[in-house]
Amino acid sequence: MSKITLSILFFSLAISCKKTEDSTPSTTTGTTGTVDISILKDKFYSTSVFSSTVTATVEGNFLVIQTNGIPDHKSSYFASNDARYQAYNGTNTKFSKNPNVITNQSLTFKIPLKPASATNKSATALGPIGVSLNGVPFFNQYAGPNQPLTNEADSFDQFLGHPQNTGQYHYHVEPTSLTKNKGNDAFLGLLLDGFPVYGPVENGKTITNADLDAYHGHTSKTAEFPNGIYHYHITSTDPYINGSGFYGTSGTVSR
């Protein structure tokens, strides 16, 4: 073999090795079912300042979260003689309190431990579509069947939640008590398909709907999942938490 041929061979091998060493791993983790979200179990409160018990346990292939749904912050929707009551002091000049009062619930969320992209995506239903760190449910972007939140948003309390007619307190939009206390880029909870919900900021940038897919999420590294995971982001405009349905296969919630 000639010296020229040998030189070309060694040069080709060197380039090939360098490409292998310098290549960046694909961040598909979280869409293939390889991520176990049980590490998030201890992120949920065991108790809160208002004794709103939230427990998270692993049962088989599910993370099971039980909560009474009581927020860990004050609200104008507690009964007026309740120590947790606080008159509305938010910034919405059109605030109009609805007639409902926060009451204890009995909610059990069974969420897949190894979330993966669903072949057939399903729409979110009215009612709980996930659960926040303080045990308060997340609801979707509708006030009723295909009804936008335009008018209902004026009934959100100072922490942007409100109760429906059975007293179930919930968030349709950013839970500002959590983002204030934990950071606007923090992990805030889970949707029923097992994928995490994060605040409106990532790597110092405010996320907009244009940064997200049709389901209101994307795949990237997070503090909890440094190898990357699909996750939802809360944004300031409709659809706020979730878009065209669950990215993964939904677990269940029982009341």
Q: Are 189 and 121 in contact (CB under 8 A)?
A: no
User: Burial code of 38-66, b = ≥16 C-beta within 10 A, e = fewer?
Assistant: eebeebbbeebebebebebeeeeebbbbb
pLDDT at 5 over 90: no
How far is Cα 50 from Cα 218, in angstroms, rounded to an integer?
34
125 lies in a domain? yes
pLDDT at 184 over 90: yes
243 lies in a domain? yes
- Report the predicted TM-score, pTM, of the whole model to 2 decimal places: 0.87
8 lies in a domain? no
Range of the domain at 197: 24-254
Element (H, E) at 7: helix 3-22
Lowest mean pLDDT among 8-17, 59-68, 237-246: 8-17
Mean pLDDT of 30-43: 79
Instruction: Quick: pLDDT tens for 92-144.
Output: 999 999 999 999 999 999 999 999 999 999 999 999 999 999 999 999 999 99
92 lies in a domain? yes
96 lies in a domain? yes
11 lies in a domain? no
Lowest mean pLDDT among 24-28, 61-65, 94-98, 205-209: 24-28
pLDDT at 8 over 70: no
1 lies in a domain? no
pLDDT at 232 over 60: yes
pLDDT at 20 over 90: no
235 lies in a domain? yes
Mean pLDDT of 61-72: 96
- Count of structural domains within the chain: 1
**Contacts of 179 by beta carbon, 8 Å cutoff, 6+ apart:** 186, 188, 199, 200, 234
CA atoms within 13 A of residue 208's CA, in its CB half-sphere: 1
Q: How many residues does the chain have?
A: 255
pLDDT at 4 over 50: no
